[in-house]
A and B are shown apart, each in its own frame.
Chain A
Amino acid sequence: MTTPAAAARTQSQGDASPAPAADGTGRPLSRARAGARRVLASRRAAAGLALLGLLALLAVAGPFVSPWRWDDTDLTAFRAPPSSEHWFGTTQSGRDVFALSVRGLRRSLAIGLCVAVLSTGLAAAVGTVAGFAGGWTGRCLMWGVDVLLVLPSFLVVAVLSPLLGGRWPLLVPLLAAFLWMVTARVVRAMTVSLREREYVLAARFLGVGAPRVIVRHILPHLASLLVVDASLNVSVAIVTESGLSYFGFGVRPPDVSLGTIIADGRGTATTHPWLFGFAAALLVLVVLAVNLLGDGLRDVLDPTSSGPAPRTGGRVRRRARPGNARAHEYGTGPA
C-alpha cells in the first residue's frame, strides 16, 4: 500500500526542479522546511509576504502609534488636509483618517483570512468527494452546489446583514458560504479526470481506501489550484466585504471598514483626495500582497510548472534564452 504513494512521490519529484536535499549538516530537510526555503527563494512570494507583513504590522501597531483613536473627533479640524497632526487628514466630521484606515485594515485582514480558509477547505472537501465518489453521492453534492450557486449571494448577505447587528465575525461564515461553489465545481471536474489516471487506478486496485486515495493522490495534484484559489479567495473576500460595506450592507456605522471609508470619500475624491485615496490605496495594497504571495506559492508548490528554482538554475535558464522556447520543449528549464 505504500508502493503507489511512493511511486507518485517519486514521479512528482522527478518533474519538479531539484529541491535542496540537504542543509549544511548533511541532515535531510523536512518537507516543510524545504518548502519554506523555496518559498523565500521565490522573489514574488517573498515580496508578497513582506508587504503583507508590513500591512499587518501597520494594522496591529497603528493604534498605538497614532495620537488619535478611530472614534475621536477633532472639532478644530474638519476636512483638514494631511498634516503633522493628522497624518492622513480628517473627515467631514473631524475624525482622523489614519486611525480610521488602520481600523478598516484590521477588519479587512481578519475577514479575508478567515473566509478564505473556510471556503477553500469546503471547496476541496466537497469537490474531491463528489468527483471521486461519482454516482448519487456526487450528483447530490453537485445539486447542493448548484442551488447555492444560483441563490443570489449578494441578496442573501444584504438581506441578512441587519440581523448581524454589527457583529462582524458573523459576516465570515456568511461570506464563506457563497465563495466556494465555483471552485468546488472546478475541483470536481479535475478529480473526475484524475480518477482515470494510471497511478490512481493502481492505488484503487491495490485496495487503498477512497479517503486515502483522495488525500494522497488527488489532493496533491490540486494543491496549486487550491493555493491559488485560497489566495484569490482572501482578496475576493476582502473586496466583497468592502463592496457590501460600500453599499451599506456589510460592516455598518458606527464601525468602519475600508469599504465604508471609500464610499464616504468617493463623492469628493477630486477635491479632497485624502478622504478617498488612503483607504483605497490600503485596500489595493492588501489585495496585491495577498495575490503576490499566492502566485509565488503556486510557482513553488506546483510540481508540473517550471518553478522559480534555485538561483543557479535561474541563471542557466536566462543564459539559455536565445534558444527560443527550448526550455519548454524539454520539460522544465532549470534541469
Chain B
Amino acid sequence: MAAFLLRRLAGHAVLAVLAASLAYLLAAAALDPRADFEDRAPRPPASAIDAELSRLNLNDRTPVLRRYRTWAGGVARGDFGRTWQGEPVNAEMWRRTWVSLRLLLPGAVLGCVLGVLLGAYAAVRHGRAADRAITFASYLLLAVPVFVLAALLQIAASEVNDLAGVRVFEWVGESSPGAGEGAFGALGGFGDRLRHLLLPTVTVALAQLALYVRYQRGTMLDVLNADFVRTARAKGLRWRSALLRHGLRTAMIPMTTYFAYTSGLLLLGAMFTEKIFGWHGLGEWLIDSITRGDVNVVAAVNCLAAGCVLLAGLVSDVVNGFLDPRVRVGAA
C-alpha cells in the first residue's frame, strides 16, 4: 500500500507541475494586461508602460517562453510574482484562501454528510413516500443553478427581513462594519459573522447535497439487491448491520472518486457564491483577474486549484484502497 501511494504521489507531483505550466502558458499567451495601463489617465508614455510591464514580467512583447522561465523560477522559490498593480500575489492569495475556506468548508461538509445519509436512506426506502419526497426535492435542487439558487435565497431573505422588520439575514460581504463594537462586544461580532455566513453556506451545502443524494441513492440501489448483502443477511446479520457493513461500504466505493473531485473543484466552483454574496475569496479574485488580464494572479490561483485537485485525488486513492481490498492487491 505504501509503495502504491508513493508512486501515485510522484505521478501527482509531475501532473501538478504540468498543469500549472500549461495554465500559465495559456494565460500568458491569451490575456493582455497592457490595456489596463493604456487606459490610465493621463496615459503614460509607451516606454514607461513597457518598462513597468517588463518589471512585473507581464510584457507581451517578451517571448512567452522567456516569461514562463522567469515565472517558473519565482514559483520554484515560492514566489508567485506580482499583480498588475505591483502588489505581491502571495500575501493576497493566502488571505483569500482563508476567506474561501471559511465559506466553503462548513457548506461542503454539511452538504456531503447530509447528502450521503439522505441518499442511502432514500435507497433503502425505495419507492416509498420518504424516497419519493427526498428524490423529488433533490431533483428540484439539482435543477436550480447556483446563481439562481443564491438569487432566490436572497429574495426570500429580503421578504423575511421585511416581514420581521429587522435584518434577520445578511447577504453582502463577510461582516458588517462596526459589529464588534456594539453592546455585545466581540460576541456580537461573532454573531454578525455567523449571520453573514448563513445564506452562502446554505447555498453551497444545498448545491452539494442534491448531487450526493442522487449518486448515493443510485449506487446504494445497485448494491441493495446484490448477492453479498443477501448472504450477509442469510448468515444471520440484522438487516441494519448487513446494510451498513456490506451495503453502504460497497456503495461508497464509486462515490469516493466523486467526493475527491467535487471537493477539490469546490474552490473554483465557489466563484458564483463568492461573487453573488460579495465575499472576497479566491473565486471572485480569479474572475476579476481574467477580465483584467492579470496573468500572474490567474496562474497562481490555478496552481493552488491544481494542488487541491491532486491532493483530493490522493485522498480518494487512500479511501478507495481502504474500502475495496481488490484495488489494494491489484495495483500494488
Contacts and interface: CB of A to CB of B under 8 A. Distances in A.
A266 B326 contact: no
Contacts of A298: 218
Interface stretch (B15-23, B46-54, B105-113, B183-191): B15-23
B142 interface: yes
A170 interface: no
A235 B155 contact: no
A302 interface: yes
B313 interface: yes
Interface string A303-329: 011100000000001000100010011
Interface stretch (B94-102, B174-182, B194-202, B253-261): B253-261
Given A150-B15, A284-B143, A291-B143, A304 B225 contact: yes
B36 interface: no
Contact of A269 (B11, B144, B155, B268): B155
Interface string B217-234: 010011011100010010
B19 A151 contact: yes
A101 interface: no
Contacts of A317: 127
Contacts of A292: 139
B196 to A, nearest CB: 19
> Main SS of the interface on chain A?
helix
Nearest to A325: B239
B302 A152 contact: yes
A160 B261 CA distance: 24
Interface stretch (B24-32, B59-67, B71-79): B24-32
A162 to B, nearest CB: 8
Interface residues of A, number: 63
B282 to A, nearest CB: 12
B205 interface: no
Given A196-B326, A288-B140, A150 B19 contact: yes
B330 interface: yes
A173 B327 CA distance: 33
B216 interface: no
B117 interface: no
Given A182-B261, A196-B326, A305 B151 contact: no
B252 interface: no
Contact of A243 (B147, B226, B291, B327): B147
A193 interface: yes
B290 interface: yes
B23 A152 contact: yes
A146 B309 CA distance: 9
B148 to A, nearest CB: 5
A124 to B, nearest CB: 15
Interface string B129-150: 0000001000110111111100
A331 B221 contact: no
B216 to A, nearest CB: 12
B132 to A, nearest CB: 10
A193 B326 contact: yes
Interface in B307-332: 309-310, 313, 320, 324, 326-327, 330
A151 B254 CA distance: 23
Contacts of B204: none
B251 interface: no
A186 B226 CA distance: 19
B309 A149 contact: yes
B18 A147 contact: yes
Interface of A: 15, 143, 146-147, 149-152, 154-156, 158-160, 182, 185-186, 189-190, 192-193, 196, 224-225, 228, 232, 235, 239, 242-243, 246-249, 262-263, 266, 269-270, 276, 280, 283-285, 287-288, 291-292, 295, 298, 302, 304-306, 317, 321, 325, 328-333
Given A280-B152, A292-B139, A304-B226, 11 more contacts: A143-B15, A182-B257, A185-B257, A190-B254, A193-B324, A243-B145, A263-B147, A280-B148, A285-B143, A328-B124, A330-B230
The 6 A-B residue pairs whose C-beta atoms are closest, nearest first, are A150-B19, A288-B143, A287-B143, A150-B306, A159-B30, A305-B221
20 contacts: A146-B12, A150-B306, A155-B27, A159-B31, A182-B257, A182-B261, A186-B257, A189-B253, A243-B145, A262-B148, A263-B147, A280-B151, A287-B145, A298-B218, A304-B225, A304-B226, A306-B221, A317-B127, A325-B239, A328-B126
